[in-house]
Amino acid sequence: MMPVGAYLGLSAVLFGIGLIGFLGRRNIILMLVSVEIMLNAVNVSLAAFSQHMQDPRGQILALFVIAVAAAEVAVGLGLVIALSRNRPGVSVEDLTQLKW
């Protein structure tokens, strides 16, 4: 059985990769995908703590994270559709109209 620290290390690495993708990618959809990678990293550590503490509450919190991720995808991709209707392309660097 692996110690819980191994799962936390894996979770940290996955979260860092997701953060790099979210900050660096130009494509809005891939930025949202990177958010999903980060949410998965957090779910890994929640599940590992759930096993470590012998307590189902960690898994229940991970289930709620998945539910909120589904909601985030629906609204986020709706926003992308509305954006791409106004201007073609999904690059964040084209979205400068809020810049003062």
Partner 1 sequence: MTVLAAQTAFYYLAAASVTSAILAVTRRNPVHSTLWVLALFLHVAGIFLLVGAEFLAAVQVIVYAGAILVFYLFFLMLLDLPSEAAGPRFGAHWPLCTAAGLAFAALIWYAREPELVPPAQHTVAGGSSPGNLSTVGMALFTQFALPFEIASLVLLAAIVGAVVVAKRKTESL
**Footprint (CB under 8 A) of partner 1, residues 3-62:** 3-21, 23-27, 29-30, 32-34, 36-37, 40, 43-44, 47-48, 50-60, 62
Phi, psi of 14 (to 5 degrees): -65, -40
- N- to C-terminal Cα separation, the chain: 55
Q: Which is nearer to partner 1, 54 or 97 (CB)?
A: 54
**CB-CB neighbours of 45 under 10 Å:** 21
Question: Are 18 and 81 contacting, i.e. CB atoms less than 8 angstroms apart?
Answer: no
How far apart are CB 22 and partner 1 at their closest, in Å? Answer: 8
Minimum CB distance to partner 1 smaller for 2 or for 100: 2
Cβ 49 to partner 1, closest distance in Å?
9
In one-letter notation, the amino acid at residue 63 is: L
User: What does residue 88 show for φ and ψ, rounded to 5 degrees?
Assistant: -70, 155
Q: Which one of 93, 97, 98, 99 is in contact with partner 1 (CB under 8 A)?
A: 93
